[in-house]
Each structure stands twice: as C-alpha cells, then as structure tokens.
Amino acid sequence: MSKSCDFCKIEGGYGKLIRETPFWMIFLAPSQRYLGTCVVALKRQCKNLSDLDDEEWKDFIDTLRKLEYSLKEAFNPTLFNWSCFKNKTFRDGEHNPEIHWHFHPRYQDKVKFIGLEFEDPDFGYVPQPINVEVPDEVMMEIKEAILKNL
C-alpha cells in the first residue's frame, strides 16, 4: 500500500482541522507565512479536477465562498490565491495524487492579530512554499477567528 498523502486523514492529518463539509475537509495549514492559509482537501482519492462530480463541485464552491467571507471578516486580506497542484506526490516515486486546494490569503499591508504582526513578504507574486510555523496557541487563535464567521 502506498504511503498516505500529507492531506489525507487515513494516517494522521494535516495541520489543524477547522471544519468538515459533506465532501471536503478544511485545514488550517501548518505554515502561516500568509496569515490564515488553509487547505481544502477532498475526502476521497481523485486524480483530476475533471473527475469531481457536480455535488462535490457545489460543496467546494459553497466552502470557497464561506472561507473567503470568513477570512475577510477575520483579517481583511487584500486578495485571495487559490491553487490545486498535486505535484508533491510525484517527488518520491509515489504516484497517488489527491485533490486539495491551497488557499492563500494575501496582504498588501502588515496585519496585527492578538498582538502579533504578520507580513506578506511575497505580496504581488506567487505564494512561496516556505514553511513559517507559529506556536500552537497562535494556531488555535487563528482557527477560532476563522470559525467565527465560517
């Protein structure tokens, strides 16, 4: 059996689970280089977006709308980046791509949250896969702030 994906819950999890919908799981991503970064992962194995069925799309669109609204209320980012890449599974010889969306809120200006200052060092450019972790209690506060309007 192949190793499970970072985003798959079968053997552990990924970041902090914020909410489950009928077809998707919303995680607060381990890296908070961009405050409020989440991953929206499909609950089943699926290689391509064209293989999603209509119900899965409908649920994703609903989730996307709620997430953008909730993040706007929580941290007022300047804009949102969405991407569905599925590249990582090919690095180690495993070929088991899964559908997960990376949701990166982006910030033109510094933003303060619970006394901490967050910057977006790459604003105006594609999000960088550089890991920036914050203490667990800060993760919990970010999760709560997102949940407030989700």
Residues of this chain that interact with a copy of itself (CB under 8 A) are: 47-50, 54, 57, 61, 64-65, 68-69, 78-88, 90-91, 97, 106, 108, 123-127, 129
Which of residues 84 and 140 has its CB atom nearest to a copy of itself in the complex? Answer: 84
Minimum Å gap between C-beta 12 and a copy of itself is 22
Burial, 66: exposed, middle or buried (Cβ in 10 Å; 0-12, 13-18, 19+)? Answer: middle
Q: Which of 116, 131 has the CB closer to a copy of itself? A: 131
| Nearest Cα residue to 24 out of 90, 103, 126 | 103
Q: How far is the CB of 65 from a copy of itself (least distance, A)?
A: 4
Q: Which of 4, 12, 67, 78 is nearest to 38 (CA)?
A: 67
Residue 130 Cβ vs a copy of itself, minimum distance, rounded to whole Å: 12
Cα-based torsion angle of the residue sequence 147, 37, 131, 133 in order, rounded to the nearest 10 degrees = -20
| Closest CB 105 distance from a copy of itself, rounded Å | 11
CA–CA distance, 99 with 97 (Å, rounded to integer): 7
- Residue placing its CB nearer to a copy of itself in the complex, 48 or 140: 48
Question: Which is closer to a copy of itself, CB of 22 or CB of 129?
Answer: 129
Report DSSP state, residue 77.
-
